[in-house]
Chain A
Amino acid sequence: MSASLAPVNPTSQASAEPGAEPLPGLPTRRALLASTALLLVTRAAGAATLSGGAGMPWRPFAGDPPRAVEPGPWVFFTSEEGATVEAMVDRLIPPDRETPGGKECGCAVFIDRQLAGAYGRAQGLYMSPPFLPATPEQGQQAPSTPAQLYRRMLAALDAHCRNAYANRTFAQLPDGEKDKVITGMENGSLRLQGTSATPFFETLLQDTRYGFFADPIYGGNRDMAAWKMIGFPGARYDYRDWVERHNERYPHPPISIAGRNP
């Protein structure tokens, strides 16, 4: 067995060396510390080398706050696509006396901005081939990004509606017909581009709900209408005075990350 392992000088943290001999041909750590070569080593040895001694690293403006969506024209959708998606989200979450629907709440704006960004690009996901047929338990294996999916399926839906409804777009249909189309997508009876529209429906439904309930800075949940509907107080962070007030309605209005008024 090799000699016991101990720091040479345990009380001096800055210059401790291993008890074992240095590797042949290499300078000792002490020699390196004394030379300017150390600077090269530290800079080159990693993307962010954080040397102990000065406490937790800190520099001003190091945070990464979210960027609020700017209102305005569609960034991703064409005007036809935008009209179709607005009409769809307004059927998925219709307006009622108390709470606006998906369109007025900005769900289509949310989806537009998400598709224009990292979500639309499938950024961060593993998109290497081969793309093989999967069991239901193995998750999504399709090669297309959400942006590609929407572009393709909205075009197919438009073609279907014009064909089936005397050249009318989805947005031009009466609500009852719109709901029939959506139901067909949901249960797979409506096929678009020769394939089941159910995966697209499920993506659209999920994106609509995300837009409905996410913080308003992302373009949906306008005026925090969805949060007011359910009684969720939003981006609040301190309920210590409320945790033991059992069976009592929390009375304060919701707030957004951007503050009290969106």
Chain B
Amino acid sequence: MATKLPATDIVIIGLGWTGSIVAKSMTDAGFNVVAIERGPWRDTATDFPPTYSPDELRYAMRHDLFLRPTQTTLTFRNNTSQTALPIRSWGAFLLPNGVGGAGVHWNAETWRFLPSDFVLRTHLTQRYGAKFLPEDMTIQDWGVTYDELEPHYDTFEYLCGTSGTAGNLKGQKQPHGNPFEGPRSRPYPTPAQKQPYGPVLWAEAAKEMGYSAFPQPSGNLSQAYTNPLGVTLGPCTYCGFCERFGCGNYSKASPQTTILPLLMRRTNFEARTECEVTRINLDNTGKRATGVTYVDTEGREWEQPAEMVFLCAFQMFNVQLLLLSGIGQPYDVSSGQGVIGRNFSYQVTSSVQAFFDSKIFSPFIASGSIGMCIDEFNGDNFDHAPHGFVGGGYMGMVQTNGRPIETTPTPPGTPQWGAAWKKAVQDNYLSTILPSTHGSCYSYRDCYLDLDPTYKDRFGRPLMRLTFDFHENEHKMSRFLTDRLAEIVQRMGPRQIVKLPRTGHFNIVPYQTTHTCGGAIIGADPKTSALNRYLQSWDVHNLFVTGATNFPQNAGYNPTGTVAALTYWSLDAIHKQYLKNPGPLVHA
């Protein structure tokens, strides 16, 4: 039986990137805000100091900063003919936990989606005709446009101090940037990072072939920067311990390095850590959230009443909480009806391994977002008609690390052990690169989330069940992108290349990305979306849901920039409209 606490104004479920952005915005307006975070407090000096942060075994292999599956996990199957089984140890994706969320251990690759990505179904239908799209592809327009989000992308980039080279300023193409990007209102706040040898050599080959190579936009800063909140970040030192690690230099944009130092000075803010929200509570009409119920580490249940609830618990857990709280109609795969769990999507990556003689790439000189990329094959930036698929992605030489447990490239045919293996590792470590493609993943009728019928979490609640596989459209896209990348890599003069397109079924074991998307998507129609374009629940008007949960399908870019932009866009509508007149912001 939960003990009821005194009411507060705002409850935020999860204190990661979007939770911190929301907390800052609502405390700005003078509200009392309580953020309830399942994991522990984290900060640079205590949890990832330079003295022991560079520990590959602990952080990269044993996943020390991530959620433990024993706390909660999912079950997984490729399709409905199979029985979903638990993900007992993380593989394809590493789910976050703790204050700062995935913002602590992301690579800080900070992209914007293309203008066409936001009107995807309309755009592709107009260009190629409806029959060009697979019959079971469930892509949708977002209900919000790039132009509407542009100021909010800008806000996030200036919060983070993102390092990059603009390609399009107010419609004017700029040299050395991405010529395909949507127009931006001003340049990046800091210049692009310096590039190591591999990306520079790759970019030369790309330029020789007529492509426009540009530096990947990076939340690992090229120089010290003080953001509009007065929080200062340091310059990245290219340490190569970025993804899966916290940054000991204060040089990776995260809630810790951009927002929390200000937020923790506000007496109207409170963080309750190691407390897991188990339910969003509703009044007896089912249309209004009254607050949340959560469990502390001693197993005691508490009820926190509030006027507004923000669900910021990461894509997967947002969907799970909506299902467990009975908010919105759950998606039913046989009928295709329902919205909670609908349109799950992911990311389709691939690579080309390239072995060189007598080149020293020093893979350990790296940062999470360093690299040179091209965007000619992203989105609908090229004519898909001859190719028979839709979608695309950026490609490039992105050098995030050379950590040795994870980096032992050997040519095909090398045994897995013994003297030949050892020699091949020694000979190839410094002189091998792995350029990659980062492709879109569109949504399908049979890719979705629901509750598992068998397996439970530590509270006895059903785990969420993921049903997902790659479709032929994504396989074709991956082959195409990999072939284009291989042409560029071949031009660099390697001894040998190995093309590694994404093939076969989606496999939960090898790491790919943590870009899980959808499940409570935004849209114009409550029959096919869970949220309106302001991230407001169609069903429960004082509930807003952030995160990549919002994406009707995933584009060929890392998601965080768009996740943050949508959050700022929603907060703008909340301050200008909702707070003056609480209720539905959109009448469908």
Contact = CB atoms under 8 A, between A and B. Distances in A.
Given A11-B30, A138-B85, A237-B50, A214 B56 contact: yes
What is the interface residue range for chain B against chain A?
35 or more
B505 A137 contact: yes
Contacts of A29: 6-8, 32
B405 A48 contact: no
Interface string B565-588: 000000000000011111100000
Nearest to A94: B419
A52 B269 contact: yes
Interface stretch (B122-130, B377-385, B422-430, B438-446): B422-430
Contact of A55 (B76, B78, B264): B264
B85 A141 contact: yes
B86 interface: yes
B88 A209 contact: no
Nearest to B367: A243
Interface in A132-172: 132, 134-141
A213 interface: yes
B429 A231 contact: yes
A70 interface: no
Query: Which of A17, A232, A244 lies at the interface centre, i.e. has the most chain B CB atoms within 10 A of its CB?
Result: A232
B25 interface: no
Interface in A43-71: 44-58, 62-66
Contact of A26 (B4, B50, B57, B402): B4
Contact of A215 (B27, B31, B56, B268): B56
A235 to B, nearest CB: 4
A113 B361 CA distance: 34
Interface in B229-258: 235, 237-241, 248-249
Contact of A16 (B30, B50, B83, B505): B30
B200 A246 contact: yes
Q: Do most interface residues of chain A lie in helix, strand or loop, or is the interface mixed? A: loop
Given A66-B58, A227-B404, A5 B237 contact: no
B364 A1 contact: no
B270 A56 contact: no
Query: Which of B196, B239, B267, B408 lies at the interface centre, i.e. has the most chain A CB atoms within 10 A of its CB?
Result: B267
A208 B422 CA distance: 12
A139 B88 CA distance: 8
A7 B31 contact: yes
Given A26-B7, A235-B55, A53 B267 contact: yes
Contacts of A209: 405, 408
Given A13-B27, A128-B456, A233-B364, A92 B267 contact: no
A237 B509 contact: no
Interface stretch (B38-46, B164-172, B338-346, B550-558): B38-46
A128 B53 CA distance: 32
Given A29-B6, A45-B302, A55 B425 contact: no
B337 interface: no
Nearest to A57: B41
Contacts of B145: none
A247 B509 CA distance: 35
A136 B510 CA distance: 11
Interface in A204-262: 205, 208-210, 213-215, 218, 226-227, 229-240, 242-244, 246-250, 257
Contacts of B430: 230-231, 249
A46 B360 CA distance: 52
A128 B55 CA distance: 30
Interface string A54-98: 111110001111100000000000000000000000011110101
B267 A52 contact: yes
B69 A126 contact: yes
B459 interface: no
Interface residues of A, number: 103
A126 B264 contact: no
A51 B52 CA distance: 29
A194 interface: no
B147 interface: no
B11 to A, nearest CB: 12
A18 B88 contact: no
B30 A4 contact: no
Contact of A257 (B52, B265, B508): B52
A124 interface: yes
Contacts of A65: 51-52
B87 interface: yes
Nearest to B71: A124
B266 A49 contact: no
A118 B239 CA distance: 28
B483 interface: no
Given A1-B581, A124-B68, A49 B272 contact: yes
Nearest to A234: B54
A26 B6 contact: yes
A41 interface: yes
A132 B83 contact: yes
A186 B418 CA distance: 13
B261 A139 contact: no
Contact of B267 (A51, A98, A136, A248): A51
B368 to A, nearest CB: 14
Interface string B3-23: 111111100000000000000
A5 B404 contact: no
A209 B408 CA distance: 10
Nearest to A229: B426
Query: Which of B30, B265, B307, B507 lies at the interface centre, i.e. has the most chain A CB atoms within 10 A of its CB?
Result: B30
Query: Which of A18, A91, A229, A238 lies at the interface centre, i.e. has the most chain B CB atoms within 10 A of its CB?
Result: A18
A152 B294 CA distance: 42
Interface in A6-38: 6-7, 9-14, 16-18, 20, 22-23, 26-27, 29, 32
Interface string A107-127: 000000000001100011111
25 contacts: A5-B308, A13-B267, A16-B32, A18-B307, A26-B6, A29-B32, A44-B3, A45-B304, A46-B294, A52-B271, A55-B261, A91-B418, A135-B77, A135-B505, A137-B76, A137-B506, A138-B77, A139-B76, A214-B57, A229-B425, A229-B426, A233-B364, A237-B54, A238-B237, A242-B362
Considering the complex of A and B, which 3 residue pairs feature the smallest CB-CB distances, nearest first?
Answer: A46-B272, A52-B269, A10-B30
